[in-house]
Structure 1
């Protein structure tokens, strides 16, 4: 190894995979490599969705040394397949940490769940220092979904291991104050927890006028008002109010609902549209990264949703792409969450918290009213979108966030 501080990032996915964690890790790793750090990434060859990528086991990409291992590659279609993928990667991570090179610091992301536990074990057995990039919290996510009983034997063991791994870390990076509060509750000292949001790139995602967007004609959306959900339709998101709103607007001459991406709830959303024979809802696969600026600019308003139980557990990164694209955001989810705080503090959209609506269906009515209001007032949409772009450039642009990471790592392991 060189004299530069050596860093190893560990995550199940890495570029060219399309997973959000893979893309953000690539951005940060390449930024740090250009900044003088010696950067390594340990990941699998598996695709985020399923199957294996045709990529080399070892390569240097834009200054980053990438080490890929073969794992099972069942993908996200079944719980058992996902657990097998997680376990096969976890075991290889632990072997690498115990027998491979030592680094000035290892940084663990949170895919697969409980990955930081492998870091804590290596720290205990080998003295390898580590930090955690907390993209989400486990097993809190599984508990929130009812997959693991929080007060049951398995839940208690998993929670104990997770909390232990966070307390042993030299530093943890959270995505917002609500997540920070959950991490602090594990017994982590306040000086070891740092908030750095995820990001988009200003040159990669920016507002595209409708007349300059080739996807408008390709998708038959010219002169339509597009309500868009882009990204992972995950188990931590909620869609009841959104789908009922789509059903309400079916037959409207202008309003269209567009879903882009995939996820475990895609089949449920498509089944709803098929059952109701909706003519105004389309679901498309992910666009390549070089087309994201066109994809996100299709929307007149973007949707962001979150289950109440996931507040502080997950912080949807799609918000920053929405702001970068200069579009207003309509969030359906808890006001007491990191995403809602950002939207309300910077006045870049609307937050509808279903818990505030006592009568069944009134949250759906609020969603319908908000969409109608934005449809009828293009100047308001433009103002919200322009403010969103300004907020993005100031707080959530890649260079800004990666510079914060570089400063933290200089503090932890020394300057290049």
Structure 2
């Protein structure tokens, strides 16, 4: 019997380092036993630049590990420029619709909430175009996310965005959210009436790619040496250095821990930021201006090297700005737990990842905006360093993850939810 076909609108996909791109690669490959999978995405461009080989043709066809891929050519962009980002996103939207016509018959169309609003609309249009059932996976709610961080304030435009995304939800055969708090937002959007068919499935990490390594591991040591982290107590932020994380204010808290600050086991404290994003330049400027020599910035790591950078930290930040509860779920948590590292969380009560951290005793958490509590939690980690408490937090989070939040567990849930439509 021929497999049913599923078309995935992914926006970003491997080798792009966007977290959703990595998750969708795992998902697409994990569903191959049950479905014939085609992915429509942009050419590799998450950091804004594009290789010359992708600039000549409108569509690029390839296959990776059994997944058919149609890549859409888009213009380069600057993360700090709204105009260039909008041009990039619109090029993907219209290019993806054209690519869908080349994808042949499909039984299911799967889309995510990226790009904001347009991801959902792609799913609806794809559903109509292919006469298929639509699955809408909401990683982030918009316009709620936009409103939460004050990125855009035009009430008319925001109301149009809300109407458009509710339209996408309404026309979905299944809405999948990635957190318990995101389920509540879906119910709230529809005021508890005629709520679309929905299910909650946690994001995950590929535990075969990210797992605990000892501090003495050769490549962990090499990473530490490369960035002068040997014998230091490293508090790391790894991922998108963007708008939704209140990093500019958290940098002011970090400033209170002056260069030369040491833990109780006499290690010098270093704050490492690994990644890139729209507020990176502001953070770099602030650090230079205030002579914060114990703060370093490290470029994005290749996927195959991520295991070494994650394991090079003693503690990892996992943060969201105030108002993000029920709107977005920071998937970086899963990588932190997979590496068995404790979490320095700045997350709202009742948000999915905060509940996971609290339920597993996997770290210390405070409310966004409570900078006194953030400072106190950093100080607690410094005082407990070397006592075994810090290591045990990381182990607790890891033990829960390998039982409940692995790739195989979550992908099986996706397969069953889709087959039951």
Match 1:77 to one of 69, 76, 80? 80
The yes-or-no answer on 1:221 pairing with 2:229 is yes
Task: Give the distance between the partners of 1:373 and 1:7, measured in 2 at CA.
Answer: 52
Task: Give the distance between the partners of 1:36 and 1:18, measured in 2 at CA.
Answer: 26
Q: What is the match of residue 343 of structure 1?
A: 357
Could you say if the C-alpha distance between residues 75 and 244 of structure 1 is closer, same or farther in structure 2, counting changes exceeding 3 Å?
A: closer
Match 1:207 to one of 207, 212, 215? 212
Q: What is the match of residue 136 of structure 1?
A: 140
- CA shift, 1:100, in A, is 5.2
- RMSD between superposed Cα atoms in Å: 2.1
Q: What is the match of residue 42 of structure 1?
A: 40
State the Cα deviation string for residues 65-98 of structure 1 (Å, max 9, x = none).
0011212222423110110011111112234446
Task: Give the distance between the partners of 1:107 and 1:73, measured in 2 at CA.
Answer: 26
Contact 2:72–2:99 under 8 Å retained in 1: no
- CA shift, 1:148, in A, is 3.4
- CA shift, 1:240, in A, is 4.7
Q: What is the match of residue 148 of structure 1?
A: 152
Could you say if the C-alpha distance between residues 21 and 74 of structure 1 is closer, same or farther in structure 2, counting changes exceeding 3 Å?
A: same
- CA shift, 1:257, in A, is 0.6
State the Cα deviation string for residues 254-312 of structure 1 (Å, max 9, x = none).
11111101111211211121111111111111111111111101111111111111111
Could you say if the C-alpha distance between residues 242 and 13 of structure 1 is closer, same or farther in structure 2, counting changes exceeding 3 Å?
A: same
Count of aligned pairs between the two proteins:
404
Could you say if the C-alpha distance between residues 210 and 312 of structure 1 is closer, same or farther in structure 2, counting changes exceeding 3 Å?
A: same
- CA shift, 1:62, in A, is 0.6
| TM, length-normalised to structure 2 | 0.90
| TM, length-normalised to structure 1 | 0.91
The yes-or-no answer on 1:279 pairing with 2:293 is yes
* Structure 1, 66-75 or 173-182: larger mean CA deviation: 66-75
Task: Give the distance between the partners of 1:374 and 1:268, measured in 2 at CA.
Answer: 32
Could you say if the C-alpha distance between residues 72 and 145 of structure 1 is closer, same or farther in structure 2, counting changes exceeding 3 Å?
A: same
Task: Give the distance between the partners of 1:104 and 1:235, measured in 2 at CA.
Answer: 37
Contact 2:346–2:374 under 8 Å retained in 1: no
* Structure 1, 180-189 or 218-227: larger mean CA deviation: 180-189
Match 1:182 to one of 177, 180, 185? 185
Provide the secondary structure at the position in 1 that maps to 2:216: helix
Structure 2 gap ranges (5+): 263-267
- CA shift, 1:174, in A, is 0.6
- CA shift, 1:117, in A, is 1.4
Structure 1 gap ranges (5+): none
* Structure 1, 23-32 or 245-254: larger mean CA deviation: 245-254
State the Cα deviation string for residues 21-65 of structure 1 (Å, max 9, x = none).
1111111111111x2310000111141111224468111111100
Task: Give the distance between the partners of 2:80 and 2:134, measured in 1 at CA.
Answer: 32
Q: What is the match of residue 163 of structure 1?
A: 166
Task: Give the distance between the partners of 2:354 and 2:42, measured in 1 at CA.
Answer: 34
